[in-house]
Amino acid sequence: RVHFNHKCTDVDLAEAVCHLETETGNLTVRGDAVVGVDGAFSAVRASMQRKIDNFQYDESYLAYGYKELTIPPATDGSWRIEKNALHIWPRKSFMMIALPNPDGSFTCTLFWEFEGPRSVTIRCAPWSYKDKIALVGDAAHAVVPFYGQGMNAAFEDCVVLDECLEKFANDRESAFAEYFSRRKGNADALADLALGNFIEMRDKTASRTFRAKKRLDHLLEAALPGVYLPLYTMVTFSRIPYAQAARRARLQDRIIYSIFAALTLVLLFVFIRIFR
């Protein structure tokens, strides 16, 4: 059953007891275990911070807010700009992106430096307490929204946690420990990827060199299907773990840059030989 308007205020870690605020008063609920899926400002995690010695916690904010705008469809109902694309207008300190809608309009998001509520990145450890408590989703690893992967990462948490609970059917503490081991590195990698993608969209997309590299990525992906995969493709359209995708993308980039460096040296050598 789902109970709405029940706000968790505290958790007894040792007993797996939740203290809740409801519209009609306070409530205490006991279970075999508590899974905290209560967002970036998690009360379950806050209870762990207060009660677990050496609990590691890092919280950082991005000083940007956003405003949604709309590009309406043309008079004939068609799209005013290319519909099969993500449009980005980078302006160093701010940017706007636009995505197409089926009705011919575009939903635009303007990101600008902002004072007020900010996008937060949260890293913490551990994600569990004995066999009683586990954290899932933003409660364990909130990220900025610029890769569109926050919810997907939470769903992956659920898949992995389910696999671990099935593997250790009679040992929930071991299940929670393996879940953390399998997911922590990928969650940290996603935090870095999401922030990096924001900087990429805001700054780097204005560079001709960067855009040329992206075109090369697409050419290599088409020429070497399944062998060469751009980072965005790996993160968005596959179940390749985030940390593995980041490592593979760095390796691919090193190979490409090494090839370009070698070709440059060969051309330079040929040029020198011709004009000696």
pLDDT tens-digit profile of 85-131?
Answer: 989 999 888 899 999 999 999 999 999 887 656 678 999 999 999 99
Listed by start position, the domains of the chain span 7-61+118-202, 64-113, 205-274
And the tokens for 245? 């995708």
Q: Positive or negative, the Cα torsion across 91, 95, 99, 105?
A: negative
Distances (CA, A) of 87 to 58, 105, 131, 173: 33, 13, 47, 46
**Predicted local distance difference test score (pLDDT) of residue 113:** 84
- Provide mean pLDDT across the span 24-51: 96
Dist CA 15 CA 11 (whole Å): 9
Secondary structure class of 255 (helix, strand, coil):
helix
The counts of H helices and E strands in the chain are: 7, 12
17-23 long-range CB contacts below 8 Å, 24 or more apart?
none
In sequence order, what are the beta bridge partners of 123? 58
What DSSP designation does 81 have?
S
Secondary structure class of 141 (helix, strand, coil):
helix
The mean-pLDDT minimum among 108-122, 191-205, 209-223, 261-275 falls in 108-122
And the tokens for 81? 């700009």
Dist CA 134 CA 201 (whole Å): 34
Instruction: Tell the residue number behind the tokens 């075999």, with chain if given.
Output: 32
The confidence band for 32, taking pLDDT boundaries of 50, 70 and 90, is: very high
| All residues at 6 or more sequence positions from 181 whose CB lies less than 8 Å from its CB, including other chains | none
Give the CATH H-level superfamily of domain 7-61+118-202: FAD/NAD(P)-binding domain (3.50.50.60)
**Predicted local distance difference test score (pLDDT) of residue 225:** 92
Q: 70 near 107, Cβ under 8 Å? A: yes
**Predicted local distance difference test score (pLDDT) of residue 116:** 59
- Provide mean pLDDT across the span 163-192: 98
- Provide mean pLDDT across the span 55-82: 93
For residue 4, pLDDT over 80 is answered with yes
Query: Mean pLDDT, the chain, as a whole number?
Result: 94
Distances (CA, A) of 150 to 48, 49, 118, 175, 183: 22, 22, 16, 23, 13
If one compares 151 and 65, the residue with the highest pLDDT of the two is 151
**Predicted local distance difference test score (pLDDT) of residue 117:** 60
Q: 18 near 29, Cβ under 8 Å? A: yes
- Provide mean pLDDT across the span 125-143: 98
For residue 243, pLDDT over 70 is answered with yes
For residue 31, pLDDT over 70 is answered with yes
Distances (CA, A) of 47 to 19, 73, 134, 152, 173: 11, 50, 12, 26, 18
95-100 and 34-36 strand pairing: unpaired
Enter the pTM of the model: 0.84
